[in-house]
Amino acid sequence: MPTYTPPLRDMQFVMHEVLNVVADFKQIPKHADIDADTINAVLEEGGKFAAEVTFPLNISGDQEGCKIDQGTHAVTTPKGFKEAYGKYIEGGWAALGCDPEYGGQGLPYVVNSMFYEMLNSANQAWTMYPGLTHGAYAALETHGTPEQKATYLPKMTSGEWTGSMCLTEPHCGTDLGLMRTKAEPQADGTYKITGNKIFISAGEHDMTDNIIHLVLARLPDAPPGIKGVSLFIVPKVLVNKDGSLGERNGIYCGGLEHKMGIHGNATCQMVLDNAVGTMVGQPNKGMQGMFVMMNAARLGVGNQSLGLTEVAFQNALAYAKDRIQMRSLTGPKAKDKPADPIIVHPDVRKMLMTARAYADGGRALQAYCSMLLEKEHNHPDEKVRKDSGEMLAMLTPIAKAFLTDNGHIATNACMQVFGGHGFIKEWGMEQFVRDNRINLIYEGTNTIQSLDLLGRKILGNNGATLKKFGKLVGALVAEEGVNEKMAEFITPIAVLGEQMTKFTTEIGFKGFQNPDEVGAAAVDYLRVAGHLVFGYFFARMAQVALREIAAGNTDPFYAAKLQTARFYFAKLFPETATLMRTARTGSKVLMDTDAALA
């Protein structure tokens, strides 16, 4: 059976020693009184909840799955899920990062992000039920009317009601302009909505009395394509004016999708049959609210893979220390045993360190994005808000795609450490692989994220935001450029930072002549950009570790951070050279393949 220990020390390192989040909070009035001890105490309790309440349900939830009653359309979650959710509400965890105006605790986004990393490590399938509520909450908080906010946000904040995102239809996934769901206006200002949605995570379940669906649909006179999409609140149970629950609405689960992983989460085919809805925002402007949900969800999906990378690493490391097979190539290490633990073998260590490095880098990026989100929404300086939002927009597709791709690499590597045992359910490793795999598809496939990064976020403003990130890299290079002990960390990011300008310009020029060039280069480009971002954070982590060691700190924690950074730059970062080379080969070798694909 797998185990899980919340990585609290690693989280504290990123927040307090690398990013110094409390100093940033001092500049934000609503968080000016928050200190490190408060953050640490909250996350310690959050780690207990994840490890003791939801983690024990992970394997059983996967084996049992969700069940639907075709007569009533009711969905039952695996044994223990509902009770765990009750404890989640009782503990106030649903309200952690929500606005106090609606009953929330108002804690910083970074605290909620770290808490959700632990929940995802413990049980991604369970975590998606409350997790999806955050995206719906964000959309309503941004675009809802005062009446809509007063009706729905307090219950979503408390966790009494959950939320879902009803976007995808059988004939269209990412291309939402093709959707057919219709919304007919009614005399009372509501709409009757009819259509079919698929792949709706947490679309129906037994953990709460109500589910607040945010549904994309078309008005009768809507213009074609994406410009004719509107957003609607469609509650599972209608809400009376006094806030009490009324009649069952005309939205129900027609069937459950049987997926490769996350069996404990209900992925629903949702049927809307004259369901009553109210519009969010303006007619035909539904994509504005949808993108609020999607951007929140994209960061959340990256966090899902970060969580699975961490728990897979922990279990693979424990196994590698215990499992004995063969002798070390340099001679016996466990002379009292018939063979050595497999951790003595170089390639086992490479697999373990790959997972560790991708967990450390991913955690730093998630924390940094959370702080950007905080500044964008709450910093008193308008310029800081604008700059933070711009940087976050560029980093979001990286946080989603790079972290989930890395999660795929890491969970597979950790399963490989177990050899044949990795394929046996009891060890839990094959479930981590299966559960993670869908994250590469969620909230826009990683190819979509790559096109968004290169086409919109980079080329769309002529590399202006990329240059701003380049200045962060340049400042670190200038600060540590003469420090010989930092050379192995500074030189690679300095070189790649310079290469990125030429690389981006070249791809952009070719794309201007032939848009397929952008499509052909985008996936490789995102991965290069991801390594530049990770490289920057690993250099900062190494900087802190070296300072502590130089000051006489003998805590092996810092030696471990230094070794992880060295491994990352030696074994993982160099793939940027290959990626830039393959990106430059262009689109012709891909598109001139009619005979091969006939």
Mean of pLDDT values over 112-131: 98
3-class DSSP state of 239: strand
CATH number where 227 lies? 2.40.110.20
Is the same domain home to 124 and 43?
yes
Which ranges of 17-108 would DSSP assign to H, the alpha helix? 21-25, 36-49, 58-64, 81-90
Residue 538 has pLDDT above 90, yes or no: yes
Mean of pLDDT values over 114-128: 98
Decide if 382 is inside a domain. no
Give 174-197 pLDDT, tens digit per residue.
Answer: 887 889 999 999 999 999 999 999
Is the same domain home to 198 and 263?
yes
Is the same domain home to 481 and 567?
yes
Query: 263, 284, 305: which is the final residue of a domain?
Result: 284
Is the same domain home to 469 and 532?
yes
- E strand or H helix that includes residue 44: helix 36-49
3-class DSSP state of 238: strand
443 assigned to active site: yes
Query: 261, 284, 307: which is the final residue of a domain?
Result: 284
CA distance 197 to 591: 33
Catalytic pick from 169, 443, 517, 548?
Answer: 443
Decide if 379 is inside a domain. no
Portion of the chain with pLDDT greater than 70, in percent = 100
DSSP label of 218: B
Mean of pLDDT values over 201-208: 98
pLDDT of 216: 96
Decide if 170 is inside a domain. yes
Is the same domain home to 13 and 130?
yes
Decide if 72 is inside a domain. yes
Is the same domain home to 188 and 103?
no
Is the same domain home to 135 and 16?
yes
Give 274-322 pLDDT, tens digit per residue.
Answer: 999 999 999 999 989 888 988 989 999 999 999 999 999 999 999 999 9
Residue 96 phi, psi (nearest 5): -50, -55
Mean of pLDDT values over 138-154: 96
Is the same domain home to 128 and 178?
no
Is the same domain home to 114 and 174?
no
Portion of the chain with pLDDT greater than 90, in percent = 97
Give 469-512 pLDDT, tens digit per residue.
Answer: 999 999 999 999 899 999 999 999 999 999 999 999 999 999 99
Decide if 303 is inside a domain. no
Is the same domain home to 128 and 201?
no
Give 207-227 pLDDT, tens digit per residue.
Answer: 999 999 999 999 999 999 989
Mode of pairing for the β-strands spanning 245-248 and 67-69: unpaired
Cα four-point dihedral sign 424, 426, 432, 437 = positive
Decide if 1 is inside a domain. no
pLDDT of 177: 80
Decide if 408 is inside a domain. no
Residue 140 has pLDDT above 90, yes or no: yes
pLDDT of 176: 78
Domain, as residue range, for 224: 162-284
CA distance 340 to 301: 38
For 101-105, which contacts have Cβ atoms below 8 Å and span 24 or more sequence positions? 102/149, 102/153, 102/154, 102/156, 102/157, 103/154, 103/157, 103/158, 104/157
From first CA to last CA, the distance across the chain in angstroms is 47
Give 1-47 pLDDT, tens digit per residue.
Answer: 999 999 999 999 999 999 999 999 999 999 999 999 999 999 999 99
pLDDT of 380: 98
Structural domain count, the chain: 3
pTM, two decimals, is 0.98
Is the same domain home to 124 and 186?
no
pLDDT of 203: 98
Query: 89, 109, 143: which is the final residue of a domain?
Result: 143
CATH number where 60 lies? 1.10.540.10
Mode of pairing for the β-strands spanning 230-235 and 267-280: antiparallel
Decide if 173 is inside a domain. yes
Give 347-381 pLDDT, tens digit per residue.
Answer: 999 999 999 999 999 999 999 999 999 999 999 99
Are the C-beta atoms of residues 77 and 131 closer than 8 Å to each other?
no
Cα four-point dihedral sign 488, 489, 495, 496 = positive
Is the same domain home to 188 and 270?
yes
Are the C-beta atoms of residues 569 and 535 closer than 8 Å to each other?
yes
Say which residues have a Cβ less than 8 Å from residue 434's Cβ, sequence separation at least 6: 260, 261, 262
pLDDT of 291: 86
